[in-house]
Amino acid sequence: MKTALFLLSITLIMVACKNETKEQINKTSIALNYPETKKVDTVDTYFGTQVKDPYRWLEDDRSEETEKWVATQNETTFGYLENIPFRKDLKKRLTDLWNYEKIGAPFKEGDYTYFYKNDGLQNQYVIYRFKNEGDEPEIFLDPNTFSKDGTTSLGGINFSKNGKLAAYSISEGGSDWRKIIVKNAETKEIIEDTLVDIKFSGMSWKGNEGFYYSSYDKPKGSELSAKTDQHKVYYHKLGTTQKEDQLIFGGTPQEKHRYIGGNVTEDNRYLVISASTSTSGNKLFIKDLNEPNSKLITILDHTDSDTYVIDNVGSKLYLVTNLDAPNQKIVTVDASNPTPKNWKDFIPETEHVLSPGTGGGYFFTEYMVDAVSKVLQYDYDGKLIREIKLPGVGNVKEFNAKKEEKVLYYSFENYKTPATIYKLNIANGTSEIYRKTTIDFNPDNYESKQVFYTSKDGAKVPMIITYKKGIELNGKNPTILYGYGGFNISLTPSFKIENVVWLEQGGIYAVPNLRGGGEYGKKWHVAGTQMQKQNVFDDFIAAAEYLIENKYTSSDYLGISGRSNGGLLVGATMTQRPDLMKVALPGVGVLDMLRYHTFTAGAGWAYDYGTAEQNKEMFEYLKEYSPVHNVKEETQYPATLVTTGDHDDRVVPAHSFKFAAELQAKQSGDNPTLIRIETNAGHGAGTPVSKTIEQWADIFGFTLFNMGYEVLPQKVTDEVKG
């Protein structure tokens, strides 16, 4: 048993009030007894190079030994967290702030208008509906009744063409595996046997007769970690059993597709199938549902682009594509001969990344201009009608509606402004507030500032920094630097309740738009993939250095945070530059880069990462930054809180287990290295509010405590002002 006694000198922030400075110093000692993590002699050989994997046994999520390790690690972690003096204060403030009504944008299905709503602290959002504006809404579906502890969540819902039937999926314990239930939308009665073993799937109705969905064959090993790489599309006809469901696409041993989706066009004429081998690039096929015996027609037979059908008018298809257009464009083509040689530009590519929607007989093209939204309205002849005036600088969501609708509802938010629902008059382009969020927080007291900084190789990278107005740039502000940088995913301004609590403490929240993301199109994405992945880490390091150089913070008050691919970002950054930050928060991270592709659907991430078997050069590159393989002996790493869920079957918890074990074995100095393993939880989606609040209280508590605070910074400020 390795024992460490940490004598933490807790130096409170020096708060300036007029010409006076108040400094408080307290000392706290917390004894940490790390559980002993045994080592095994597992060795893998890659291109003649042997690589030890001493914690391979932790990959077995079904073993009693792993279960015991999880229990003892949690006992140690929570023993530490419970001794943080202001943990309860943070939980109370998070709870109080979270307790406000949250309502999603309405959407029309059949005779009803539906919307999502959470009264405040409900673990899951409830679906309500009404027939006429002004009617008292009724509960249609309440996921809080799915399980007593709130860990069974709603995965998604889709209605039949006439709106009289609904298929919805549920997730148990945070798993990506789903069950599908069919309901009579008018009577709210369940009318079908539950479909099971469904993963990475939507539900798309063929009229009112049945729906398409996707899944893998159930793996032979652990369903939470065994490899799944043969996706298939099925058709379920109402009134039949799941065993009778028709295989539509996939299942050919010679041609594996890891992600396949089947969607029916709004007019119910075409089935569109997208097939991918990785998270980037797809083949595309179409089938005319008006012709019972029609065959699939190929639109694209390669995965060199991301292309999908956004709409159609008769046989005229409208496609969104980045083929020869890194920032995306919309093209048209006839369904009878839809290959790229026949495509015609409809809305050409611009210098900004395009994300279009449709509604009321128009296209609404959202453009990302330095990671903030701009929306233009076009008719179906490609004529620009107007720019939609948005409420401010921020991010819009849900710019979609059915073709016959006269109004469209969208939400607007940024880092300091909660989501507000707006009602757009499609004919004249004017917006009015439909529902405004009421919350115990005044955004006027805070500001968000976008800056551009220079990365290691000269690339200009944008970053939005949010903080309380009047903050003093003295290098002593507690700061969280959050990043992702991968999979063409863009980090746009969004309001998160937990960040408000951080800002209230005088904290700074900074989000750089790293390469690997989609903020500047495909080129920006590719610049952070495979043999260029180090660019992402360099961008993140440069962001930290910018904040330090400009006195927003210093290494003693800087925490870095990221989840999933962002967890990899944190792991790589802290092992490359352990001196740069005080606290590291890798969440559900991809941390073993030599074996990530051997678990669940991980092989599909190879477009971004490459694999250790790909070639010697790729193996050596991955090994050079893989966090699990770069924890060094006798190195002082920052205070680290690794977080994961025991039911995470996307980024399996073994990544986090092995990384934490390496850190605990090799950490030099007094900084704690802990792992917080949420039980009955997955990658994040559907996590109950109660668990989410506890997680953030622990994360913020750990962060501030290890930055030297024994009471919350806001309390110190209030005392000085008093």
Measured CA distances, 330 to 257, 279, 322 (Å): 25, 21, 9
CA neighbor of 689 nearest in space, from 143, 50, 141: 143
Closest CA to 388 of 415, 416, 360, 351: 360
Could you say which of 201, 564, 626, 656 is catalytic?
Answer: 564
* CB burial readout 378-411, b (16+ within 10 A) else e: bebeeeebeebebeeebbbbbbbbeeeeebbbbb
- Ramachandran sector of residue 32 (left: φ over 0; alpha: ψ -120 to 50; beta: rest): beta
Token pair, residue 210, equals 């049945």
Strands across the sheet containing 558-563: 446-454, 460-468, 508-512, 479-482, 558-563, 583-587, 639-645, 673-678
**153 catalytic, yes or no?**
no
Beta carbons within 10 angstroms of residue 494's beta carbon? 15
Instruction: At 498, list the tokens.
Output: 């937990």
Amino acid at 443: P
Q: What is the DSSP secondary structure assignment for residue 535, as one 8-state letter? A: H
Q: How far apart are CA 296 and CA 287, in angstroms?
A: 5
Count the neighbouring beta carbons within 10 Å of the beta carbon of residue 423. 16
- Mapped onto helix, strand or coil, the DSSP state of residue 639 is strand
Side-chain half-sphere CA neighbours of 564 within 13 A: 15
Structure tokens at 716: 């110190």
Q: Which two tokens stand for residue 647?
A: 């039911």
CB-CB contact of 358 with 403 (8 Å): yes
In angstroms, the CA 570 to CA 509 distance is: 16
Q: Crossing angle of helices 87-98/497-504, nearest 10°?
A: 130
Contacts of 67 by beta carbon, 8 Å cutoff, 6+ apart = none
- Active-site position among 257, 525, 647, 683: 683
- Both tokens assigned to 402: 């059915």
Neighbours of 706 (CB within 10 A): 24
Name the strand (E) or helix (H) holding 660.
helix 654-666
Residue type, 356: P
d(CA 611, CA 592): 11
Can you list the pairs that 101-104 forms with residues at least 24 positions away whose Cβ atoms lie under 8 Å?
A: 101/437, 101/438, 102/419, 102/437, 103/421, 103/435, 104/411, 104/421
Find where tokens 């043969």 sit.
230
Q: Is 564 a catalytic residue?
A: yes
Give the span between the Cα atoms of 205 and 157, in whole angstroms. Answer: 11
Catalytic residues: 564, 683
